[in-house]
Amino acid sequence: MSPNQKKRAVFLDRDGVLNKSIVRDGKPYSPSTLDEMEIPADAAQALQRLKAAGYLLICVTNQPEVARGNHSRQMVEALNAKAQRVLSLDEVRVCWHDDPDNCDCRKPKAGLLLGAAKDHNIDLAASFMVGDRWRDVAAGHGAGCKTILIEHNYAEEWKAPSPHHTTRSLSGAAAWILENNIMNTNSQILSQLKVKLFADGADKAGMLEMYRNPWIKGFTTNPTLMRKAGVSDYEAFARDILAAIPDRSISLEVFSDEFDEMKRQALKIAKWGANVYVKIPVTNTRDESSIPLIRELSHSGVKVNVTAMLALDQVRDVTAALAGGAPSYVSVFAGRVADTGRDPVPLMAAAMEYLKPHAGIEMIWASPRELLNVFQADAVGCHIITATNDILKKLELVGRDLHEYSLDTVKMFRNDAVKAGFAL
């Protein structure tokens, strides 16, 4: 975290959140002695998880009983100190006033939170307020935080906007905050990627699932994937998919080995939709170059996706053939390069240099082997990466806390051992 980066906080009311309230006739009261202050068993661990996720823990508490003459300030401070020590709070901020004082800090006003935000450089929109009464929720809303109510069903009128979340315990509040945190981190990281994500597949249900994912900007397919998905009628499958996905790029491949027939297929496929890119392999199976056909198609307005390239000289020559033609893609099989023990990153970076002068030609990082390749493609300025659904499903792991993920892994091993009924 850079020094200028804003911090995030969880603001915590004291009574009824950090310690149990004393409830009489349905109304909550503060403890008046250290012995009366009972901290719930789950509180310390819940707050530890929040602290580990990088949140400041700041108690914000109204203590009007001092102004009312019912409690001594010394005792309230001793109670606050106990909560701070037991729960490792970063700070306790107290409003000592009562309603007639008309201060700025007594909740439902947001003064305690705003003051802390100023002193600690806190991003309030990325922060949370946890309370057990309407005054807490109102203060959280007023400060622009997300609000969580720990519901104890007190006998009092609700005079605040609804909380963003309601739960029964501090553990429940912490779990919700951490879930939100993962989702925010995840979408923040993904929204910073410049590389466009394409889904590579030929299974209609899987393609439609990815179509519902806003991060997926296009689709690629190939005869191998189509065969694997059990497609027998090429045109019927393609038209079906194009009807379901009319507004994102879809690449469909020719399958002839003769250039005349490839050309006929390419012209036919191109007519199926404005979002169609026609995939042409860089050579036929006799290693004869497809470049003359690629040049002809591209310059007659067909959007081509030149595929199955692994070597730099292929990218150089194909780019020269595509220059000045219709918008096009060059697909470099970075994953297959990696399969040969070579690092694809420098190769892809060098390939990008050939494309730089040509705005209409985009590079596809094809056959990725792991989610990390998305970030590698982005780092070298590659325009697109196309990945199978099993890799794309890992997008939700992006930014995940490594300790949390470690714990998930331990649980997976344990659950599978139990399910297998292993015994020693």
Report the 10 Å Cβ neighbour count for 318.
27
| Residue in 312, 404, 401 with CA at minimum distance from that of residue 355 | 312
Report helix, strand or coil for 137: helix
Cα 307 to Cα 167: distance, rounded to the nearest angstrom = 53
Of positions 10, 16, 200, 387, contacts Mg ion by CB under 5 A: 16
Looking at the Cβ atoms of 13 and 65, the one nearer to Mg ion is 13
User: Going along 133-248, which residue ranges are E strands?
Assistant: 146-150, 165-167, 196-200, 216-220
Looking at the Cβ atoms of 14 and 196, the one nearer to Mg ion is 14
Minimal distance, residue 135 CB to Mg ion, in Å: 8
Helices (H), 19-169: 43-52, 73-87, 111-120, 134-143
Report the 10 Å Cβ neighbour count for 142.
20
Scanning 16-24, 183-191, 352-360, 397-405 for contacts with Mg ion by CB under 5 A, the matching segment is 16-24
Minimal distance, residue 132 CB to Mg ion, in Å: 4
Beta strands 8-12 and 22-24 are unpaired
Looking at the Cβ atoms of 132 and 362, the one nearer to Mg ion is 132
Of positions 13, 65, 200, 253, contacts Mg ion by CB under 5 A: 13
Residue 364: strand pairing partners: 331, 384
Looking at the Cβ atoms of 46 and 384, the one nearer to Mg ion is 46
Is 253 a residue that touches Mg ion (CB under 5 A)? no
Q: How many residues bind Mg ion (CB under 5 A)?
A: 4
Q: Going residue by residue from 270 to 299, which x/- string records binding to Mg ion, judged by CB under 5 A?
A: ------------------------------
Confirm whether 15 is a catalytic residue. yes
Confirm whether 313 is a catalytic residue. no
- Contact set for Mg ion, span 102-161 (CB under 5 A): 132
Q: What size, in residues, is the chain? A: 424
User: Going along 30-81, which residue ranges are E strands?
Assistant: 55-62
Please enumerate in sequence order all residues whose Cβ is within 8 A of that of 66, keeping only pairs 6 or more positions apart, or say none: 72, 73, 76, 96
Residue nearest Mg ion by beta-carbon distance = 16
| Residue in 357, 379, 235, 360 with CA at minimum distance from that of residue 305 | 360
Looking at the Cβ atoms of 77 and 151, the one nearer to Mg ion is 151
Looking at the Cβ atoms of 16 and 335, the one nearer to Mg ion is 16
Of positions 8, 11, 12, 15, contacts Mg ion by CB under 5 A: 15
Contact yes or no for 146/35 (Cβ under 8 A): no
Minimal distance, residue 405 CB to Mg ion, in Å: 34
Minimal distance, residue 184 CB to Mg ion, in Å: 27
Cα 149 to Cα 126: distance, rounded to the nearest angstrom = 17
Token pair of 157, please?
């009128």
Distances (CA, A) of 89 to 19, 57, 59, 109, 268: 13, 5, 7, 22, 68
Cα 84 to Cα 78: distance, rounded to the nearest angstrom = 10
Looking at the Cβ atoms of 132 and 200, the one nearer to Mg ion is 132
Cα 45 to Cα 167: distance, rounded to the nearest angstrom = 17
Cα 308 to Cα 166: distance, rounded to the nearest angstrom = 53
Please enumerate in sequence order all residues whose Cβ is within 8 A of that of 343, keeping only pairs 6 or more positions apart, or say none: none
Minimal distance, residue 180 CB to Mg ion, in Å: 22
Minimal distance, residue 46 CB to Mg ion, in Å: 16
H or E segment to which residue 265 belongs? helix 259-270
Sheet holding 128-131, edge to edge: 91-95, 55-62, 8-12, 128-131, 146-150, 165-167
Looking at the Cβ atoms of 13 and 362, the one nearer to Mg ion is 13
Q: Which residues are catalytic?
A: 13, 15
Q: Which residues in this chain contact Mg ion in the complex, by CB under 5 A?
A: 13, 15-16, 132
